[in-house]
Chains A and B, each alone.
Chain A
Amino acid sequence: MNHPGKKASLWIILIAGLISSIIFSTVVGSAGIPFPDVCNALLSKLPVLNKLAGPVPATYETIIFQIRLPRILLGAMVGAGLAVAGTVLQALFKNPMAEPYIIGVSSGACLGATLAFLTPISSGWFGSSWVTLMSFLGATVTLYVVYNISKIGGKVPIETLLLAGIAVASFLSAITTFLMVQAGEDLHKIYFWLVGSLSAKGWAQVEVASVCVIVGIFVLYLFARDLNVMLTGEESASQLGVEVERSKKVVLAVSTLVTGAAVSVSGVIGFVGLVTPHMMRILVGPNHYTLIPASALAGSITLTLSDTAARMIFSPQEIPVGVVTALFGVPFFLYLLRKRRKAMF
């Protein structure tokens, strides 16, 4: 916090990184679009700068705005949401193993999505949004149930929350598995939804995800100081003037809703929410005023690039984006972990 120069360069790197990964991902694809056309197309949609934009062929415009860009922006939003949710939950649980799915939201979302696939509505015009809606509902209900199970005399002990989350998640996963076995021809669809994918998503999902993620991150950022102080222990935090139970409740609810929104538009994408916060903590330290925005940007970059890799490596066949995040991210993370040789957390 005492090195403004270092801090400024960090922001420049992260923001430039995000912009260039968006442009790069738009350029790359089965139908190659020249770099100038991508730039012109993107510029034309920006205020003020659109006067500089040159003409773009209509087919390119369609590919960029109907196929690639929604997918890329969705990836950026989901990545940011998961990374920030992971960051604050690790702080709240004071546990490096914490991740966005820790209290069972993903299992709830999966069950919701599975139920949605098994109802006739899913094949109608409303299908895609129906699945999104149901999985979001599943996530929310799970949060509500786990929270209330853990509540003891007006307080929510973190350990109880953790255990209740794991228990409820196992229970819901069992139901989901049972339903999948019974699913018959829908099994394939359900499975691909569960492993997480950003493909074939439209602007509707981008809008939903953007609103949830941006509002969510903003609210969590308001709790940055509380989170910092709570890292020194809940008792100390309370003695330093933090309303611990209230902050815990809000942070938990908001981060879980952000996660629920992310899962409902993209399925369960692992790794981003677990490891991005750790990487950023190594780079910028534990102060949430810096850590939350840094994680958001890093999460966006990670997921945007991973998704591009997922659709390019075995093109035209796609591999699940979660596979890519793990295959490339984990070795890099382990490298950072070893290089640092200090306590991580």
Chain B
Amino acid sequence: MGEVTLKIENVECTYGTTRILKNISFEIKPGDFVGLIGPNGSGKTTLLKSISRVLKPRVGIVLLDGKDVYTLKAKEVAKKVGVVPQETPIPFQFTALEIVLMGRTPHLGWLESEKERDYEIARTAMKIANCLHLSDRIFAELSGGEKQRVLIARALAQEPKVLLLDEPTAHLDINYQEEILNLLKRLSGEKLTILAVFHDLNLAARYCDSLILLNQGEIEAIGTPEEVLTPENIKRVYRIEVLVKRHPITNSLYLIPFLTSNPQTDACDDFTVHLVCGGGTGTPLMHSLLKQGYRVTVGAVSTLDTDYEATTYLNVPVVTLPPFSPASDDAHRIHLELVGRADAVVLTDVPIGWGNLKNLEAVEVALRKGIPVIMVGETPFEKRDFTGGEALERLIRLKDEGAICVKSLNEVLTVIETLRRSCRACRGKSTQKPLSEARGRPLEAFE
């Protein structure tokens, strides 16, 4: 008796002549915690309404334990399905406890008043949802998060087998988000079936057993978070690029949006900036430059370096070093070649050790060739030297020989913008850059 399966078959919903949902079919097993995701207007809320017997689908059926919910009475459905709405303005002066007691409605007969047992259930639900202390407060005067918890308690007071939630964490602070979701996770462990709408894909990935991705009223993907939250799916549905990574501690998936697919401007005339970086010092600059439409190359970083990782996500040409080793002559030659093609070279305040000392040599070559060199950062040269003096000497020499020193990322961007303008003025627009085919290709193309 305790377990209820929810099955949606070929549901299609319309508002007037507008079709909101189309061809929706899926099944949720007892104890599943399913996240419903998708962009605004993709039909998430409508789907919840059609399941909770509020909006009858034009086509298709919603089966609760094998029975069509639209043939059941509201009361019978409400005994099994609890709903936590997105926002409920209740302008009347009901106390939180009175609101939660309303959850007992489906269990009470005609004219039957709430018994001590109903109060007990309501209080227990409030305790579980951590809002018992709000019992005597007026619901309308509670904060968004407090209201949310009271409404969850109301749904729990229904003693449902299925819980539908429309953005349960929308108004909550991060600590309450965790609290509510942990609570839901625990309830799903106790065989409560949960279907919740999420805006936050990372929270959905972290807590849900499976996800349903809606796009324009249709199911775009369904399955485990790993199957659904692929960069391709996200790009197709949300039209942004994301990195899909694993959380270092929870090991759940999380998404990092990083670049709009079209850069702000294409007017940078193939102006190429070469970054000499490492240890993550180059990543923000790499991203900003690409976003503004510059070409970027990177050299030479170790394959364990976070800057290297960034180049792979951002699809930037890069010269790599084997971990913890200095550049081979071959790699160094390629690096010099890459530097030679740049319109400007930026040296971040990466620490210099024996492994990447040769990078400074590449910067010197650039400076001698007349390519503008910009040194970023506020770390004193002495603190960056891990070679016992040699790096320090070279850094000072670079500065003396005319490298431009700036402090912040914004300053670098301003300097590069100035360089680009003067460069366009002197070389004219017809100059063919040899690197123009290189963008977007891995370095192997150079070898």
Contact = CB atoms under 8 A, between A and B. Distances in A.
Q: State yes or no: do A and B come from one complex.
A: yes
Interface of A: 1-2, 94, 222, 225, 228-229, 231-233, 235-236, 238-244, 281, 285-287, 289, 343, 345
Contacts of A238: 52-54, 74
A318 B154 CA distance: 54
A235 B105 contact: no
B79 A241 contact: yes
Contacts of A281: 92-93
A48 B76 CA distance: 49
Nearest to B97: A2
B90 A231 contact: yes
Nearest to A222: B111
B102 interface: yes
A228 B94 CA distance: 9
Chain A CB within 10 Å, residue with most, of B73, B76, B102, B158 = B102
B70 to A, nearest CB: 12
B94 A287 contact: yes
Contacts, number: 82
B98 interface: yes
Contacts of B37: none
Interface of B: 49, 52-54, 73-79, 81-83, 85, 88, 90-95, 97-99, 102-103, 105-106, 108, 110-111, 113, 136, 140, 154, 158
A286 B102 contact: no
Which secondary structure dominates where chain B touches chain A? Answer: mixed
Contacts of B78: 239-241
Contacts of B106: 240-241
Nearest to A245: B74
A247 to B, nearest CB: 10
B102 A235 contact: no
B268 to A, nearest CB: 52
Nearest to A342: B93
B92 A286 contact: yes
25 contacts: A2-B136, A222-B111, A228-B102, A229-B105, A231-B94, A232-B90, A232-B99, A233-B88, A235-B49, A235-B54, A235-B85, A236-B88, A238-B74, A239-B74, A240-B106, A240-B158, A241-B76, A241-B79, A241-B105, A242-B74, A244-B74, A281-B92, A285-B94, A286-B92, A287-B94
A3 to B, nearest CB: 10
A244 B78 CA distance: 13
B54 A233 contact: no
A239 B102 CA distance: 11
Contacts of A239: 52-54, 74, 77-78, 81-83, 85
A343 B141 CA distance: 10
A288 to B, nearest CB: 10
A229 B74 CA distance: 13
B85 A233 contact: yes
Contacts of B75: 241, 243
Nearest to A343: B91
Given A232-B90, A243-B73, A289 B113 contact: yes
B54 A225 contact: no
A1 B91 contact: no
Contacts of B99: 232
B88 A241 contact: no
B182 to A, nearest CB: 25
A222 B110 contact: yes
A239 to B, nearest CB: 4
Nearest to A224: B111
B229 to A, nearest CB: 30
Nearest to A226: B105
A232 B98 CA distance: 11
A109 B78 CA distance: 41
Nearest to A228: B102
A240 B75 CA distance: 7
B146 to A, nearest CB: 16
